[in-house]
Chain A
Amino acid sequence: MIPVFRQAAVSRLEPVAENTFVLSYIDKECGAELEPGQFCMISPEPGLSDIFLPRPFSYYRLTEPDTVEIFFRIVGKATHWMATLNPGDRIRVFGPLGRGFTTRPDTTRAILVGGGIGLPPLVFLAGKLAELHKNLEIDLLYGETTGARVIDLSGVLPERVRCRMATEDGLIGHKGLVTELFSEIFDGLDSSPAVYTCGPKAMMAALAGMLNPAKVGLFEASLEENMACGIGICQGCAIPLKGEKVRYECCCTQGPVFNGFEIQWQ
């Protein structure tokens, strides 16, 4: 659908982990049409903040047909502002933007690997995959640096999605990296799964290094880059792709979800 720039009302701001929040807003027009992996640009009403450019956030969940949730962690000026929002406050939202994940993989198993603040689009995707495919086995592997930052996904994921966690400090789940959990599952498989990922670049690069295109049905990665317009005009959010010549695609319009085998990870 054509993206729309509009005012929206905040319906809820909920702290869910250390410096991490879920922000809900009402979007009557496009809520039901959002695809996992797509994103919106959020900005304040003019004059209410000194934030200049809108900031991109992938969609986390649709809780009602008209309530959209996004998930953010305080890292800078804009997320500080967002953490001060109250129900009823107006924000500006531009979306839906970008290309989402393939929700009809030609496989019997899907493994979703999320790290840190890369979790939201994978939760949205897990729900969509469970809704669309009765027989698809779905694993969500979720890694964090510390247990204090892990959000409670009970009640958020469909029951048949198997969720395993890894934290580097070992407070919750496997002590270590989420890619280690991935190896445990992946190495024992005799079929080719669909692999989806979103998270820190180092994590996704490590994952890409573990995958052989011949043994994976699909490998999709959702990427992030500094962005101004969200619609392919400013050419700011360049993602380097593999090839003989230097080559970039815009994260906002050709992504944010890319074929993970085409990304120049180093």
Chain B
Amino acid sequence: MNLETTFLGLRFQNPVLVASGTFGYGEENYEIMPFRLLGGLVTKTITVEPRAGNPPPRIVETDAGMLNSIGLANVGLEAFLRDKLPWIMEHAGESRIIVNFAGFSVEEYVRLGEILGRTPGIDALEVNLGCPNVHAGYVHFGADPGTVREVIAGVREKTDRPLIAKLTPNVTDIASLAEAAVRAGADALSLINTLPGMKIDVERRKPVLGMGFGGLSGPALRPVGVACVYKVYRHLRQAGKAVPLIGIGGITCGRDALEYIMAGADLVQVGTANFVHPQAALKVIEELAFFCRERKIEKISELVGAAHGE
């Protein structure tokens, strides 16, 4: 039985990563949950400038999940490269380092992609397309195939580093956005980001979160994520544009990860579950191994796309 996975020519010791924004820069909980045991670490989203984030409350629990409106709080590119990345590289072991980034304009995305793309020690880049475009009415870059193309093609032109586009599910047809990202040069896709949501405090007669809206994550999101992976996997194969996929959304155990893998994901990312139990991702790895051992599955990659019955 083997959990090793090859993804974009890189060897991953197992297919379980931790999702951007749910594991900081790897150092915060290293003593409790060393990320070197994982397939990889996806960093918190990096922006050009440091960001303080949104006014509180920033999070609230909902049924089988939570809403967050953190506002991309992060240390900014310069401090990330100086203070965070060297530490991550030193402690990564065989775990892969994926840096997630976002811009508020196409130019910012391209600049970040160029700089991160030539920085040694980063195995792959994950482009967070869920950021509002300040030059186009604050519509998310990921909501329109045209801006997806512009961002991905712009970054692609500047770097040969493996490039993963992280798509938002808040679109009419995620398959067409997936295809736009791939045609623009994305090597792989991460599916999905959070869904917009709101919780209202009926005593105070106003939204609970400081910004009103938040992103829904956790188990409540899982069926949406699995459906997106399934749909995109099928669509890209039919279009002759198949690329590897990463499944994200509500994974808390091995069986949840298997749903994504069978829908067509080569890798998975554990997100909100890291808040519920700091070692949640280890449990996912152990349960995947147990599942494969029990059923005498030699390589977990045999299961990728199994639900499509091909």
- Write the residues of chain A forming the contact surface with B, with a CB cutoff of 8 angstroms: 2-5, 43, 50-54, 77, 92, 94, 225-229, 231-240, 245-248, 253
Contacts and interface: CB of A to CB of B under 8 A. Distances in A.
Interface stretch (B59-67, B147-155, B176-184, B301-309): B59-67
A234 B22 contact: yes
A50 B63 contact: yes
Given A228-B66, A245-B52, A233 B28 contact: yes
A238 B68 CA distance: 12
Interface centre among B52, B59, B219, B274 (most CB of A within 10 A): B59
Contacts of A245: 52
Given A5-B277, A247-B52, A225 B57 contact: yes
Contact of B32 (A5, A52, A77): A5
A5 B283 CA distance: 14
A237 B66 CA distance: 14
Given A5-B32, A226-B60, 15 more contacts: A5-B277, A5-B278, A54-B276, A226-B56, A228-B68, A233-B24, A233-B28, A234-B59, A234-B70, A235-B44, A235-B70, A236-B56, A238-B53, A238-B58, A247-B52
Tell me the interface secondary structure of chain A in the complex.
Answer: loop
A229 B23 CA distance: 10
Contacts of A50: 63-64
B279 interface: yes
Contact of A229 (B52, B54, B275, B279): B275
A248 B52 contact: yes
Nearest to A54: B276
Contacts of B22: 233-234
Interface of B: 21-24, 28-29, 31-32, 44, 52-66, 68, 70, 73, 218-219, 272, 274-279
A247 B276 CA distance: 27
B57 A231 contact: no
B66 A52 contact: yes
A196 B279 CA distance: 35
A91 to B, nearest CB: 13
B59 A2 contact: no
B276 A43 contact: yes
A253 B29 CA distance: 11
A5 B29 CA distance: 12
A232 to B, nearest CB: 5
Nearest to A5: B278
25 contacts: A52-B62, A52-B218, A53-B276, A92-B277, A227-B59, A228-B68, A228-B272, A229-B29, A229-B278, A231-B32, A232-B28, A233-B22, A233-B24, A234-B59, A234-B70, A235-B53, A235-B58, A235-B70, A235-B73, A236-B58, A236-B59, A238-B55, A238-B56, A238-B58, A253-B28
Contacts of A226: 56-60
Contacts of A228: 59, 66, 68, 272, 275
Contact of A225 (B24, B56, B61): B56
Nearest to A226: B57
A240 B56 contact: yes
Nearest to A238: B56
Contacts of B63: 50, 52
Given A52-B65, A225-B57, A238-B73, A233 B52 contact: no
B95 to A, nearest CB: 17
A3 B32 contact: yes
Among A52, A229, A240, A248: residue with most chain B CB under 10 A? A52
A51 B219 CA distance: 12
A231 B58 contact: no
B275 A53 contact: yes
Contacts of A229: 29, 274-275, 278
B37 to A, nearest CB: 16
Contacts of B274: 229, 233
B276 A52 contact: yes
Nearest to A246: B52
